[in-house]
Amino acid sequence: MSKTILITGSTDGIGLETAKKLAADGHVILLHGRSADKLAAAASAMPDGASVETYMADLSRPDAVRSLAKAVRDRHDSLDVLINNAGVYGTAETVTAEGLDMRFAVNTIAPYVLTRELLPIMGRGSRIVNLSSAAQAPVDLEALTGGKRLSDGAAYAQSKLALTMWSRSLADALGEDGPVVVAVNPGSLLGTKMVKAAFGTNGNDIGIGVDILSRAATSDEFASASGRYYDNDGRRFAFPHADAQDADKRESLMRTINGLV
């Protein structure tokens, strides 16, 4: 059965290749990017006959995230899959207009806001797939709220653990009647633009990440995986960083995030 799937950050890398695969499988693909030119190029790269829509938004801006969600809701009564793929590591602008670290803003807060704004059109059979990472570090709440500056690596690792933690919290809050919410490490050092810029390596085959994201979006193995974390380095469901298992730390994080949004 054809599904309607929104993939953020889908104008290059894993996002684009996952969009191509899911489009080839017959699904309706909602592409997202920051550039009109890149969105047009991504749409033209889809398989012949694919059903594709394009949405432009700067995820570092909360108002743009909410506008993106509204644009999707205006065109669709239901959304089957949201893949929160967009992310940043090193960036020229490390602080947003609101004074937040760009990594926390794009990697943690934007997908949370987008997810909450789209929940009204996502039901029990829907799925929310959040792109986590093997890089996970304890979250400094002062840094999350913009009161402390971090290195690229520290900000990225903390933002990805924060994403993994809110994935578990949201899954618990929604329960069995809500969409499946999973956090997925698509694989370490895959050959994306981000990896090449950060580590100076061509990286591993991004098809590794495309495969797991496609499975997380549509396969039966993820149908009852809400609240879980999939580590594609080990090719299995696994435990993320210990802080994600700590209910008190998750609650503290959620209070802080909700205070920001």
Catalytic residues: 156
C-alpha 185/C-alpha 208 separation (Å) is 11
Q: How far apart are CA 40 and CA 54, in angstroms?
A: 8
What tokens were used for 27? Answer: 């699904």
CB 228, CB 170: distance < 8 Å: no
Residue 204 backbone dihedrals phi, psi, to 5 degrees? -85, 165
Over its C-alpha atoms, the chain yields an Rg (Å, rounded) of 17
C-alpha to C-alpha distance for 236 and 215, rounded to whole angstroms: 12
Three-class DSSP category at 217: helix
- At residue 156, the 3 state secondary structure works out as helix
**Considering Cα of 91, then 105, then 39, then 180, what sign does the dihedral take?**
positive
Alpha-carbon span 210 to 217, nearest angstrom: 11
Look up residue 47 and give its DSSP letter: P
Torsion of CA 18, 213, 186, 261, to 10 degrees: 100
The DSSP output letter for 223 is T
